[in-house]
Chains A and B, each alone.
Chain A
Amino acid sequence: MKKILATFLCLTFLAGMLFAGEQAANNPTGKKSITVEIYDRGNPGGSKPEANYWTDFIKKGMMDTYGIEVTFKPVPRWTEVEVLNNLLAAGEAPDICVTYSKPTIDTYAQMGGVLDMAPLLKEHKAELPNLWKLLGDQNIYWDKDPKTGKVYNIEAILVNNMRNSVFVREDWLKKLNIKEPKNLKEFEAMLVAFKNNASTLLGKDADKMIPFSVGVDLGWRADPLHTSFVTDSISDKELWIRGFDDRRLTWPGVKEGYRVINKWYNDGLIWKDFPLYPFGDKTEDNLMKAGYVGAFLGNWDYPYRDGDNGIHANLKKMSSPDAAYIAVECFPNNAGKYRKYLSPPVDRKVFFPATNKDPLSSLYYLEWMATLENRRYLQIGDQGVHHEVMADGAIKAKTVTGEKIMNSPSNIDYTILLNGLDLGDQDLNIKSLALAFSGVEKRYLEQSYKIMKHDARISPNYNVGIIKAEEGMEAALKEKRNTFLVQAVVAPVADFDKIYDSGMADYLQSGGQAIIDERTNLYKEFFGN
């Protein structure tokens, strides 16, 4: 009996190994197929990002046009860099990868893990007219190495180059008869008023009042408050050299912004538990939806996203019908300007890992995705289902739930070459943008948009090739930045300088200074003084 059992066990094991081998060998060959990365936002009520109405549309389109089979590989949006790293390291990255992190691409490119697209682009340019029409030489060759001419990635286009707005509760301002704040002093007075009138505003939930809310990604959530302390005469060169951290940590002056937040924290104006909730956690959103949060800084469209599941709709449901966040402009700099420092108009970076055995098929995918009618459908969907057409031709988005839901605004996660509504007509774009958010009155978006464009300053592109000191440092520096900013902000006012300065010193010593130095030298090398 024992013998039989043992033999049986061993045989099953061997058989298992054999079958596993066979399965691997049985992969469909002959038919062309590619895999494409897709962000998974885990949005409430959303559909599976790798298999839904939109992926079916793309798959069908690619099959009909090029006879190429497309498979999607989901990657969590908020940990995309980590997951992509794992996939790349394991040799399992999709054929078409998308990321916001240039250093990740550079690191792998150095090891020979990323395909040089330059020869392919040159050879097949004639077959890719729509790609060129959408991105132009500028975005396609944005990161072309100035010395070797290699192109490891192309840059998606950012139609609406936006950043953060300041949001406050419009209904609370009205209730307390406060005017929209126009400067820091008024803004602070408003926060204090929210706090002091908590029982008027929240009734029995008065103890839940959060006049101002932030998250652990303070560098983002302090923008544009912290950049209002940057002197207006700062040069583009300086901004670029110190601009490797997209949260502007090493820009001169931003420390004062954090000092203000530190003061507010100690005055009890800020959500006390924010340091405990990790990046991407939905607790803060839920507090906004419940109506406890008076003001916050965030992406220009943040409260208006996600239709029925979003902050705007839920706030009305859970609080009162007139409850809403409205964008205000209240942090002027030393020249009295409400500066918004915007990055160059590029978005995600698209690259092919070296494991991509059929880069031409992947280029065809990009071409298909750049074609106006395809991306237009992905962005606005069906008339009557996803949008209505207004009298002036503008497109108004409708709330969609169920299988035809868009997991990201205008499906930006699928239109990997394009962030922002582009209907092929500039006038129409602007008219439609304000209508692009279902269930949100036009004026809220118009106000945020107008504020965004007011006094905006766009940094130019300085292409110097790979910056060695940045390789492999992004994650560690990011963690250091978030850690010391949070620690400094929650410290007693008297300790703020000590904690901030020692944190900054550690940040610079751990690699930040090396990057600044290398950028300074590279700038000199390519652009003189």
Chain B
Amino acid sequence: MKSTGLLTVPSKKRKFSDYMHRYGTLYLLLALPVIYFIIFKYIPMTYIQIAFKKYNIFKTPWEMPFADKNGFEYFIKAFANRDFLYALRNTLMLNLLDLIIGFPAPILLAILLNELKIRWFKRFTQTVAYMPHFLSWVIIAGLALQLLAPTTGLVNIVLNNLGFESVPFLNKSENWVMTYIFLGIWQSIGWNTIIYLAAISGINPELYEAAELDGAGRIRKIIHVTLPSIRPTIIILLILSLGRILGSEFDRPYALTNPLVLDVSNVIATFVYTYGIRGLQFALTTAVGLFQSVVCVIFLLSANYISKKFGESGII
């Protein structure tokens, strides 16, 4: 890009057009995602105001009058609503369990897969493990019902025939939570290993050779070579998961729920659906959504800050 200086000194204008000539197409390419974000992410954000306003479907958010109590009416209403408080608790509980149990699972699987020496078996296992990722939760819920229902579910029929009592996988709150977590792991474990496997395959083989020369066995190699090498990946994914700690999926709890376990399956997303979309209380549920987003951002930033403190790269 530097001018050779032999001819004239290029004017500022000239410099710009040279620059554009060189990189213009890249900017053109960048324009697409930028337009996408503006149209589908930034413009809709103006509707966050609904949380502070008296909602009317036929006015723009700028025209709607402010809600009572300096606009905070709906926040007060939400926190006075028992269902919302339960939803908040359940969202935290389910996501924390997902994090504690669900987060390490793909790391373990990735390491196990990496240790497999038979190539075709490794490939096959990997493919089978990530297939469930492509099933929608509605289908998984249907499968769960067929397999886990107390009297007609296959698993319970087998248990009964072996002389055991039926296990209420779906119709008792505590069991339902475990079923929920387990199905979540089953659905996403294979897919999530892909990133770790990619990170593992990027490890310099010389490190393993060196470790072997030093007399390290298989376990030692995993602990001292594999895990430290994929640490940055683990940290970044952990930060991202922490950012979702108050976020909630909708289809997973909604598809799996039933009236008997609503005390643990009612999460923020289903609360928003019941009150907002079915009950038409858009302002109330936007307030809930806004609260949820703010808490998520706080979690994300603090996780990022902590990881930087510990010398990791972070994401921002």
Binding site for B on A (CB under 8 A): 2-3, 6-7, 9-10, 13, 81-82, 85-86, 88-89, 104, 107-108, 111-113, 216, 272-273, 275-278, 354, 471-476, 479, 482-483, 485-487, 490, 506, 509-510
Contact = CB atoms under 8 A, between A and B. Distances in A.
Given A82-B278, A273-B152, A475-B279, A7 B57 contact: no
A276 B145 contact: yes
Contacts of B43: none
Contact of B260 (A6, A113, A475, A490): A490
Nearest to B160: A207
A490 B56 CA distance: 42
Contacts of A108: 57, 280
Of the candidates A86, A278, A354, the one having the most CB atoms from chain B within 10 angstroms of its own CB is A278
Contacts of B239: none
Contact of A81 (B26, B29, B278): B278
Tell me what chain A mostly uses at the interface: helix, strand, loop, or mixed. Answer: helix
Contacts of B171: 273, 275-276, 490
Interface in B258-290: 258-260, 262, 274-275, 277-282
Contacts of A85: 277-278, 280
Interface of B: 25-26, 28-29, 31-32, 55-58, 81-83, 145, 149-152, 170-171, 258-260, 262, 274-275, 277-282
Given A276-B170, A510-B82, A86 B277 contact: yes
14 contacts: A6-B26, A6-B28, A13-B32, A82-B277, A88-B57, A89-B280, A89-B282, A108-B57, A275-B258, A275-B260, A276-B258, A354-B58, A486-B259, A510-B83
Given A104-B280, A475-B278, A479-B262, 10 more contacts: A6-B25, A81-B278, A112-B58, A216-B258, A216-B259, A273-B171, A276-B260, A277-B258, A487-B259, A510-B82
Contacts of A104: 280
A10 B31 contact: yes
A278 B259 CA distance: 9
A509 B80 CA distance: 11
A10 B28 CA distance: 7
Contacts of A472: 275, 279-281
A82 B273 CA distance: 10
Contacts of A277: 145, 258
Contacts of A111: 55-58
A414 to B, nearest CB: 26
A6 B278 contact: no
Contacts of B277: 82, 85-86, 89
Contact of A482 (B57, B259, B275, B279): B259
A273 B146 CA distance: 11
A113 B151 contact: no
Contacts of A82: 277-278
Contact of A107 (B83, B145, B275, B280): B280
A505 B145 CA distance: 31
A273 to B, nearest CB: 5
Contacts of B58: 111-113, 354
B29 A6 contact: yes
B279 A276 contact: no
A179 to B, nearest CB: 31
B260 A487 contact: yes
A315 B266 CA distance: 38
Contacts of A9: 29, 32
A472 B284 CA distance: 11
Nearest to B149: A273
A394 to B, nearest CB: 43
Contacts of B280: 85, 89, 104, 107-108, 471-472
A33 B118 CA distance: 66
Of the candidates B82, B260, B278, the one having the most CB atoms from chain A within 10 angstroms of its own CB is B278
What are the 6 A-B residue pairs with the smallest beta carbon separation, nearest first? A475-B278, A486-B259, A6-B25, A483-B259, A475-B279, A472-B279
A479 B170 CA distance: 19
Of the candidates A3, A9, A88, A476, the one having the most CB atoms from chain B within 10 angstroms of its own CB is A476
Contacts of B29: 6, 9-10
B66 to A, nearest CB: 17
A3 B25 contact: yes
Given A273-B150, A354-B58, A472-B281, A7 B25 contact: yes
A3 B22 CA distance: 10
B286 to A, nearest CB: 13
B287 to A, nearest CB: 14
Contacts of B260: 275-276, 486-487, 490
Nearest to A275: B260
Contacts of B57: 88-89, 108, 111, 113
Contacts of B262: 479, 483
Contacts of A276: 145, 149, 170-171, 258, 260
A113 B274 CA distance: 21
A261 to B, nearest CB: 14
A278 B279 CA distance: 19
B97 to A, nearest CB: 22
A218 to B, nearest CB: 9
Contacts of B25: 2-3, 6-7
A509 B82 CA distance: 10
Contacts of A354: 58
Contact of A112 (B56, B258, B274, B282): B56
A367 B16 CA distance: 69
A472 B28 CA distance: 47
